[in-house]
A and B are shown apart, each in its own frame.
Chain A
């Protein structure tokens, strides 16, 4: 069953591009959308047996995939964000051929991301990270405008540096463990996790992941890539790509492969706190909507890493919960920005104002997402931040807990500022004729806003069903 998550998009990609199937090209979007929704459905309703790597396909493909609870949370988020991106893309990319290219690249991206969360081998992890990255480079440069090309090139170079660091780590771990699978490496780390070579290897690998995840001090590429990409691509990048390629890998490896060490946790917490502070303060000073949201992403990613660095099961639960919540509400915020870009043709907040009455759905859903990001009860973001802060408090990291709470206030400040500049005040004459965004954008807005509210209200159920098992697997 698990291999289907990779094989179905791949088979679809090949079929859609066979020369004698031009009629099927028109079904490309529907196919990709079905794949995304099927993935969501699989996580929500599939029985436990479906998650084992057995059955007919396993005889032919020895992929060594594995779906722990953490993976399922990520698969769910990938499905949701992918479906959203497809809907917004359909609404914003009007040219048929362009849309076909776009859908194909999204299928490559979904293969890459599903691979990243399913594999159990360090080198395969690198392979699928690269699949995801290559599709992201192309997607950022999709419109071939200069800004997008620059953003893509910058991302490409930093990503190459990151992969070199990661591969150096893989090679050194191979020296110590004699293999690259998670199991082999984890076993070797139990006996020789403290020696110099292992520490160098883990350090290099983690540094690579910091770059991929856009964490301070390696965040230089992220605002450029996010803000210069076409609107649907920003949704994909901010919503899920950097989370899967940087943060997920970090959580997975730090919790069950690399040796648990105090030094590693210290580094994670310092990097997390630095990301929170730098991201939030930089977001305050932006006037471009997408750049501001990009810095906000860096800041929120900092919370996830801070929770992870806490090292306790509760901290990890908080981190993964926040990872999921952030995927939902940051996707929503970028959909909002796509809606605004679609109607006003700009992302410069100085040229906006008074759009609230023109675009009521966008305005209301944006408020929900902003409040959730800032951690206002009872929305989803509140609970995950609360768990992280409690975990930090229990681990006696009062300073970091203080930073987390204080920066929540800054988050609230810049997001409310954003709301005011865009939706309140006087409508500028150039936007007098602005209407609510197209249905393809409004529907995802409503669904994502409903999800944010529902996860917040049904918090005990979500926590027990999805999140607490994540903490349990590490015992």
Chain B
């Protein structure tokens, strides 16, 4: 492990936690389907940064890069499907507001 690992980890650890916080807040409060997806993207950014930082700190940067690349590819596939669902919802309701949904109750 690098000698300055603790400093790096605490600085970027805070950055990651705050990014995740922003993402979670957005996913929870957004009333627009696309904004919910954007919040989801912000979450993914936070976790990608965490993987890269950890990989750098423990000297596994090649592994971390491989994981990050796979993560990005998967992210795209999920977003494409999610956007497809949003477009279908829009075709039905002519709206992408979550308040216009809600036929399903818990």
Contact = CB atoms under 8 A, between A and B. Distances in A.
- Do chains A and B stick together as partners? yes
Given A175-B57, A224-B104, A167 B74 contact: no
Contacts of B63: 174, 179-180
Contacts, number: 106
A134 B77 contact: yes
A167 B85 contact: no
A141 B88 CA distance: 9
A150 interface: yes
Given A130-B78, A164-B20, A147 B103 contact: yes
Nearest to A123: B67
B54 interface: yes
Interface stretch (A151-159, A315-323, A329-337): A151-159
Contacts of A127: 70, 74
Contacts of A168: 20, 47, 50
Nearest to B105: A224
A208 to B, nearest CB: 11
Contacts of B85: 137, 141, 149, 152-153, 156
Contacts of A284: none
A65 interface: no
Interface string B62-106: 011001001100100110011011101100110000000111101
Interface of B: 9, 20, 23-24, 27, 33, 36, 40, 43-44, 46-47, 50-51, 54-55, 57-60, 63-64, 67, 70-71, 74, 77-78, 81-82, 84-86, 88-89, 92-93, 101-104, 106
27 contacts: A127-B70, A127-B74, A134-B77, A141-B85, A146-B103, A147-B104, A149-B85, A150-B102, A152-B85, A153-B86, A156-B78, A161-B40, A164-B47, A168-B20, A168-B47, A170-B67, A171-B47, A171-B51, A174-B51, A174-B60, A174-B63, A175-B9, A175-B58, A178-B59, A180-B63, A224-B104, A228-B104
User: Lowest 6 CB-CB distances: which A-B pairs, in order?
Assistant: A224-B104, A171-B50, A167-B47, A175-B54, A164-B43, A160-B40
